[in-house]
């Protein structure tokens, strides 16, 4: 009889502890979230949603992502919209990449100015975004930030374009000078 009591106490303690653990953890496991970006040397890669389309066959909404590649050395931003397409030669996932000249967009003087340093990420606009996420690119030497949007070319199948939506300075003094119509101070 005495040998049975320690086992009951241990089992009861284990059950109570397990129950408390489940309650404190919220009763469900956390969802797995993967990051959509990577960096290697002087290149950056990221992904982000660009549209939500309706699949008539399956009666569901399907988000479409863009794949962004930023090449420091060339000063180029490249993007494509992966899709699943059957061809005679097999299955294709990547289409041609659209290209944007960041040196021109950020008005960089690569011969006489500092070496450009770019950061890139996608963001969310919530319900105002209607399924697309802006691509944010920051050039740290000049302190400028740009917002880009990738979309399919109207009327052209499987081709995309990269549009510059906005360019701003990250320095509040530059924004105040621009609002007053003055040239911003350069450091």
Least trusted range by pLDDT, from 21-35, 36-50, 71-85:
21-35
Residue pair 75/116 in contact by the 8 Å Cβ criterion: yes
Residue with tokens 């530059």: 174
Tell me what pLDDT residue 77 has: 93
Distance CA 149, CA 121 (A): 12
Residue pair 116/139 in contact by the 8 Å Cβ criterion: yes
pLDDT tens for each residue of 123-143: 887 666 677 888 999 998 889
The tokens describing 80, both together, are 């494509």
Residue pair 144/104 in contact by the 8 Å Cβ criterion: no
pLDDT tens for each residue of 70-129: 988 888 999 988 876 777 877 777 778 899 999 999 998 888 878 888 888 888 876 666
Please state the pTM of the whole predicted model.
0.67
Measure Cα distances from 153 to 79, 126, 158 in Å.
13, 24, 8
CA nearest to 171, candidates 133, 139, 137, 144: 144
Q: What is the DSSP letter of 59?
A: T
Going from N- to C-terminal start, the domains of the chain cover 37-179
């Amino acid at each position: 009889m005495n040998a049975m009591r320690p086992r009951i106490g241990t089992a009861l303690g284990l059950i109570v502890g397990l129950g408390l653990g489940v309650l404190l953890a919220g009763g469900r496991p956390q969802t797995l979230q993967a990051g959509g970006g990577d960096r290697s040397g002087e290149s950056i890669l990221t992904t982000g949603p660009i549209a939500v389309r309706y699949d008539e066959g399956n009666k569901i909404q399907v988000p479409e992502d863009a794949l962004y590649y930023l090449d420091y050395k060339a000063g180029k931003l490249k993007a494509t919209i992966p899709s699943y397409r059957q061809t005679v030669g097999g299955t294709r996932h990547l289409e041609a990449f659209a290209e944007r000249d960041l040196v021109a967009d950020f008005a960089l003087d690569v011969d006489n100015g500092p070496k450009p340093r770019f950061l890139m990420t996608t963001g969310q606009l919530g319900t105002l975004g209607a399924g697309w996420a802006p691509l944010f690119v920051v050039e740290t030497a000049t302190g400028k930030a740009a917002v880009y949007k990738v979309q399919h070319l109207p009327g052209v199948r499987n081709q995309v374009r990269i549009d510059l939506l906005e360019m701003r300075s990250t320095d509040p003094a530059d924004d105040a000078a621009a609002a007053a119509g003055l040239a911003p101070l350069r450091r």
